[in-house]
Structure 1
Amino acid sequence: MLKKDLKKLFAISLVCTVSLNACVTAGKTLEKQAQPETELLFSFNNKAATTQVKSIQPPLAPKKPHQEVRHGEIIRDDYFWLRDKENPEVLKYLKAENAYTESLTANLKPLQTQLYQEMLGRVQENRTSVAVQLGSYLYYTRYEKGKNYPIHCRKKNANAKEEMLLDQNQLAAREKYLNVSIFNVSNDGNLLAYAIDTKGDIRYNLVVKDLRSGKILSDSIQNITSLTWASDNTLFYVTADQMTNRPNTLWRLKLGSTPLHVIEEKDVEFSSEVSRTKDKKYILYTVRSKDTSETHYLDAAKPKFNLQTISKRAKGYEYSVEHRNGLWYKITNEGVNNQKAINNRIVTLPVGNSKGAEQEFLPHNQSVLINGIDLYKDFAVVSEKKLGVNRFLVYSFKTKKWREVNFADSVYTAFLGVDQEFTSEIINQPFDSNSFRYTYTSLILPTTVYEQNLATGTQKIIKRKQVPKYDASLYTTERVWAPVRNGVKVPLSIVYRKGVERNGQAPLLMYGYGAYGLEQKAEFDSNLISLLDRGVIYVIAHTRGGDELGKQWYEDGKLMNKKNTFNDFIDSAEYLISNRWTSKDRLLISGASAGGLLIGTVVNMRPDLFKAAHLGVPFVDVMNTMWDESLPLTTEEYLEWGNPHSLAAYDYMRAYSPYDNLAAKAYPAILLTTSINDSQVGYWEPTKYAAKLRTLKTDNNPLLLKINLEAGHQGASGRYEVLKDIAFEYAWMLSQVGF
């Protein structure tokens, strides 16, 4: 399971040992002179892979009977024992799986090395992020060549002397893993609060640094999930339950004193977070489940006051708020007369007044999803999504008029603010600014930050990601609509190198996710160029379960509609095959986390349709995880997958759960990757899956498990280590289609 959208859920690319100029298209090369070498390489690699599979035996996990009774049915799980990572036998087995994977992929080392060098060659190793204004400083992040982690800095102005606030490389020097999730500077600019995770289990510890002296203060809080500063430097923060890791308790801390408990969210389906409005006037404490939310507030200048509720929670209704000039601007799915406005509308509500004072600011539109608002002194900017792509609406409070900001491309991603590497509460220009910023990218356009004048609409490029050795004119993108069962059409985002023929012979990588209402963004990934340069087509299947086509698209891919996600993916794959984008023996598929559930399910349903599958940190043991309320995220996600303690939900979920539906039949080649400290999807899920499938599958295709014994859900933390992991995955996928 995955609680939040990861910035990069998964990346797949391919690599071969021929020159970049010898790009493979439909089993041929784009450069004819490389053809003999490429054909020889195909034969060599296939022979080597076959020989290794026959000569090296996989580890077999002992079966240890375990059973439970659920709804009167005895459920047996011979691999339940693999959940205990403190058991030396478990660790021994995990190491055996790694050794087996290492042996079977040893012949891919040259490919991995070449791919790593290619990807690294497209990275601007010395680079600086877009600076954001926060108070009287410009804050930014920079990277230095050879260093894995970012360095956070600030300046009084663009020409002033740099002040280094935090060098994550220094923190990482003592750790095998490092992730900094929160980075928040106090209003007066004197204090920095940040949170670090050194295991990968998404359990963060608070650190407070005095930026004047450089000293670390004695205040240290464990298991922190969000925080913000009040005007007087009182710190408000949320901690998570020690067992389930559910963010549920708000605290108030005057530095140097004992934390004071403010409020605890008791409902196990809800999690909570604390933040601050853009104008810095109010502290917001929000609790939300997968379908309901409630926000409380207090004056940031009066942190000792009690919380007030903006709108009380009501089952099935969600909202979020921002503040401007004494009014809440509320994005809500509650329509007129208590009807649903499924794609949201925006209303205003005076601070301190009741619901009856609401006034409509932007009405509901059945075909357009409202997904954000950014408020300024004289303007408002709304982010909308229509037919899978975003646009902006700019409103002038002076003229009372709207204007649209549209984009000409058919496949792209655009969002308000900067895709920040520097984590702070500000995501755009200051409240009193006369301009706003937005980020624009596509599958072939590197991420670009624009600044647009709010009044005139004139704009300029602030920063475009530099990608060495990249020429966008060599590639093209398409948006096609795949007809699936029941008359539905699924959008597919496609990118490939110009010159690739649609003759059914091109290798194609199809990526899917389809959960949590998360959009799978058609954004630039320089690592994919290694795939595209070899004639591989890359496709994102925007299946139901995401929100690409609005909230109904999400509703139609969750709970008792979850099977639509799997059918959408299968039918989209068949569409690609029938329209000669690829063929069954050239079709690769991938997904991570909830996307791993998707891939695990479709290879059970249609193992004949795919050549190879990569499941990253995959949620494949659905029934055991969702039955166990002590595990992180389980109760919070009843409204996503279903509560198996209900018989109807139990039967429906069990019918697709990948682990429970493994059978004695032929499967495609499968690579599973995971990490031992993953608290979102337990390492044991893919481990049990591999152990069980080994005893059932009737084919000779490789089944590999690779486990990181130091990281968590997001894998390796250093940027160079991330590239090495991707290089391994790409090389393996490539080997399965004959390279």
Structure 2
Amino acid sequence: MQTTPPAARRLPHLHQAHGDHRADPYHWLRDDERRDPEVLAHLRRENRYCEQVLAPLGGLREQLYREMTARLRQDDCSVPYLKRGYWYRTRYREGEEYGLVERYPDGEPHRVELLLDGNERARGQAYYEQGQLAVSPDQQTLAFAEDFVSRRQYQIRFKSLASGELYEDLLENTSGNLVWAKDGKTLFYVKQDDNTLLPYQVYRHRLGTPQEQDVLMYEERDPAFYTSIYRSRSEDYLFIAAWSTVSSEVRWLPLDEPTASPVLFLERERHHEYELDHDQGGFYVRSNKDGANFGLYQARDGDRRHWRTLIPAREQVLLEEVLLFRDWMVLEERHQGLVRLRLIHRRDGREHEIRFDDPAYVCWLDINPEAASCRLRYGYCSMTRPVTLYELDMETLARRELKRQYAGEDFNPEAYRSERLWIQARDGARVPVSLVYRADKFKRDGSNPLLVYGYGAYGASLDPDFSSARLSLLDRGFVYAIAHVRGGEELGRHWYEQGRLLSKQNTFNDFIDVTRELVCQGYGHSGRIFAAGGSAGGLLVGAVVNMAPELFRGVVAAVPFVDVLSTMLDESLPLTTGEYDEWGNPQQPEFYYYIKSYSPYDQVAARAYPHMLVTTGLHDSQVQYWEPAKWVARLRELKTDGNLLLLHCDLDTGHGGKSGRFESYHELAREYAFLLALADEELAARLMAG
């Protein structure tokens, strides 16, 4: 039995840039091939130590797992949607990890056809993820993408819907992005760079031919841009989009002429972002040309002088998405951090807004494949209300509930309370915070344990959604808070701009200031405060524990991006070149020293740190496993406290963790047990006794 923390050996390694020298004695933990025996042995030692320390929580972990999975409906089924004469759904059988993708003809629900059985496809695999799938316009062939490695490298396969047999065609190393041409024989897809995994080439594949004969349609030569493809709302065009943090460019190609050359709509221009759609004979453009929060325009071509403004860009409202129907436009807008849906009649200008009552919530446009329909499907949930799918008649405004998420036999939404706060950061900015707790467990005297969660990057808005698993914390007295820090886009584009590049420090300051004020307002006990975040949110909590370690009793950092400077200096790694406009290019001294000032790995020092649980996956393509492994090694070397520091590396998975409906809850049960134990003096003492 392993009774002491693993100590990674130190090997001299020096990074040099701009006259600066950074010692990196744990650089040897990087193994791009993931086969080095010494590296793998070290990761296994970390796993054994983690499991040994957490062994006293075995019963609690199993109880949490049972609770969380009991809130899932074993034989669940999605709400069917109609597309080209067929109703599509995903159905689950009791005890199985993956869904059955099925369809049946309109008006004939008894003629169910199995398109794909995820359980069969996943059999014998340590990991399985089903990506995009699409039926050809002639209804004869299913194209589907699969990842068996957990590095977001998808294979595309084809299945005959007449015979049920798989074609020999196999498209390797794709992003999983695919679009059928109208002939039902031609498929467009995006290929990735072998090393950086950057999606950069669009190919045309002819069914029944080897991948070697596929025709290159477009190649993106700027490594700061990602490439994706999608079909227009009219289904008449393929759009090829090249996009970066601050600019984009779209080409179009008629889907009834698959051999045609793509046509450039509007040349890329730095700080101009746009998205293109086509419907009813015209182009529609969502663009930030007149304002950072985007407007909507109707266009004949890319000449901006001729664009007609349909929705102007506004200072306080972010236009996130537009869905075009024959008679209606539906706008997904964000105002004061919350999403709203607005309906506008395309001919007479009538408007309706769908309103919600919860203080913190999220809504979204669901699957609406039929543009001629007058019925809109949208989803809604809050921190106390499970996901509910609605269908609205846009003419009469009659609404019906299609499905409400099962959250367990005993779940009562009235037992929980949600709040929305605005907390002033040190520079005067007002940061929105979403809170949830169980009403009969909450005491405003500051005695509850408090978990603060954050992300704050890429303009990704962290919405106050519902989590049935989270109930296991709330039922045990935890207050759960989401800090909507700068770097997200909750308050519009300016909120994102204030949390990236040379303003990144705002993200960390916001999180610290929010946490301190929540304690002052009595939402948590000063000795029972916890922080959690994943990926860029892992960078957030990693930076915060260097800046204000005394605030937190414990931290969970999932797949954390903590060796920021080394990664952003290495163009051979996935995502690096495409993220210079997010973090800055450290080849430039100004960005180099600014990134170094907050990079968690570079700022580890001889100080006391909170209890920490760090997780990663060996095959992670977004944040390479060696970042958290090196970070933990350096923390072990330098920290001055006796608190727990645990690393768990899943040797079979990547950035998203375990695949399947139930397996991922084992990971979450580990994290929750860690937090609950630290919040309980008796359990914490048992852990520390080891």
Q: Same fold (TM over 0.5)?
A: yes
Residue 349 (structure 2) aligns with = 400
Tell me by how many angstroms 1:210 deviates. Answer: 1.0
Counterparts of 2:555 and 2:196, CA distance in 1? 31
1:492 alignment partner, SS class? strand
Could you tell me whether the CA contact under 8 Å between 2:100 and 2:118 is conserved in 1?
A: yes
Tell me by how many angstroms 1:377 deviates. Answer: 0.9
Residue 146 (structure 1) aligns with = 95
Deviation track 1:30-54 (CA, whole Å, cap 9, x = no partner) reads: xxxxxxxxxxxxxxxxxxxxxx9xx
Residue 431 (structure 2) aligns with = 490
Counterparts of 2:196 and 2:130, CA distance in 1? 21
Residue 18 (structure 1) aligns with = none
Tell me by how many angstroms 1:672 deviates. Answer: 0.3
Residue 325 (structure 1) aligns with = 280
What does 1:567-716 correspond to in 2, within 5 Å? 567-716=509-658
Could you tell me whether the CA contact under 8 Å between 1:620 and 1:686 is conserved in 2?
A: yes
Deviation track 1:383-405 (CA, whole Å, cap 9, x = no partner) reads: 11100111122111231232222
Counterparts of 1:262 and 1:496, CA distance in 2? 53
Tell me by how many angstroms 1:150 deviates. Answer: 1.1
Could you tell me whether the CA contact under 8 Å between 1:442 and 1:524 is conserved in 2?
A: yes
Tell me by how many angstroms 1:725 deviates. Answer: 1.1
What does 1:173-572 correspond to in 2, within 5 Å? 173-225=123-175, 226-233=177-184, 234-257=186-209, 258-335=213-290, 341-350=291-300, 352=301, 354-417=303-366, 427-468=367-408, 469-499=410-440, 500-572=442-514
Tell me by how many angstroms 1:588 deviates. Answer: 0.8
Query: How many residues are aligned here?
Result: 671
Counterparts of 1:729 and 1:161, CA distance in 2? 44
Does residue 75 (structure 1) correspond to residue 22 (structure 2)? The answer is yes
Tell me by how many angstroms 1:408 deviates. Answer: 2.3
Tell me by how many angstroms 1:353 deviates. Answer: 6.3
Counterparts of 2:397 and 2:593, CA distance in 1? 54
Could you tell me whether the CA contact under 8 Å between 1:429 and 1:437 is conserved in 2?
A: no
Counterparts of 1:614 and 1:298, CA distance in 2? 47
Residue 9 (structure 1) aligns with = none
For 2:365, the aligned partner's letter is L
Q: Identify if the C-alpha distance between structure 1 residues 356 and 90 changes in structure 2 by more than 3 Å, giving closer, same or farther.
A: same
Q: Which moved more, 1:391-400 or 1:103-112?
A: 391-400
Deviation track 1:463-502 (CA, whole Å, cap 9, x = no partner) reads: 1112222111100100001111111111100000112111
Counterparts of 1:207 and 1:699, CA distance in 2? 53
2:667 alignment partner, SS class? helix
Tell me by how many angstroms 1:201 deviates. Answer: 1.1
Could you tell me whether the CA contact under 8 Å between 1:429 and 1:436 is conserved in 2?
A: no
Counterparts of 1:627 and 1:651, CA distance in 2? 12
2:143 alignment partner, SS class? strand
Counterparts of 2:386 and 2:369, CA distance in 1? 22
Counterparts of 2:22 and 2:470, CA distance in 1? 43
Residue 686 (structure 2) aligns with = none
Q: CA RMSD in A?
A: 1.2
Q: Identify if the C-alpha distance between structure 1 residues 545 and 188 changes in structure 2 by more than 3 Å, giving closer, same or farther.
A: same
Tell me by how many angstroms 1:312 deviates. Answer: 1.3
Equivalent pairs: percent with the same residue? 40
Counterparts of 2:304 and 2:397, CA distance in 1? 35
Tell me by how many angstroms 1:429 deviates. Answer: 4.4
2:540 alignment partner, SS class? helix
Could you tell me whether the CA contact under 8 Å between 1:677 and 1:709 is conserved in 2?
A: yes
Could you tell me whether the CA contact under 8 Å between 2:565 and 2:595 is conserved in 1?
A: yes
Tell me by how many angstroms 1:125 deviates. Answer: 0.8
Deviation track 1:588-640 (CA, whole Å, cap 9, x = no partner) reads: 11000000000000000000000000000000010111110000000001111
Tell me by how many angstroms 1:254 deviates. Answer: 1.4
Deviation track 1:208-239 (CA, whole Å, cap 9, x = no partner) reads: 11111111112111111111001012101110
Counterparts of 1:658 and 1:398, CA distance in 2? 55
For 2:153, the aligned partner's letter is R
For 1:705, the aligned partner's letter is L
1:589 alignment partner, SS class? strand
For 2:10, the aligned partner's letter is K
Please point out which of 120, 125, 132 is paired with 2:74: 125
Residue 687 (structure 2) aligns with = none
Counterparts of 2:631 and 2:571, CA distance in 1? 21
Counterparts of 2:599 and 2:40, CA distance in 1? 26
Could you tell me whether the CA contact under 8 Å between 2:232 and 2:279 is conserved in 1?
A: no
Counterparts of 2:357 and 2:156, CA distance in 1? 44
Q: Which has the higher contact order (CA 8 A, sep 6+)?
A: 1
For 2:183, the aligned partner's letter is D
Please point out which of 147, 154, 160 is paired with 2:110: 160
Does residue 88 (structure 1) correspond to residue 37 (structure 2)? The answer is yes
2:235 alignment partner, SS class? coil
1:445 alignment partner, SS class? coil
Deviation track 1:312-334 (CA, whole Å, cap 9, x = no partner) reads: 11101101122111111111100
Counterparts of 2:106 and 2:443, CA distance in 1? 52
Tell me by how many angstroms 1:94 deviates. Answer: 0.5
Q: Which moved more, 1:478-487 or 1:463-472?
A: 463-472
Counterparts of 2:157 and 2:392, CA distance in 1? 37
Counterparts of 1:384 and 1:457, CA distance in 2? 19
Counterparts of 1:518 and 1:533, CA distance in 2? 29
Counterparts of 2:194 and 2:278, CA distance in 1? 33
Q: Which moved more, 1:218-227 or 1:560-569?
A: 218-227
Counterparts of 1:353 and 1:598, CA distance in 2? 40
Residue 57 (structure 1) aligns with = 4
Counterparts of 2:354 and 2:411, CA distance in 1? 28
Tell me by how many angstroms 1:303 deviates. Answer: 1.1
For 1:229, the aligned partner's letter is W
Tell me by how many angstroms 1:112 deviates. Answer: 0.5
Counterparts of 2:352 and 2:420, CA distance in 1? 26
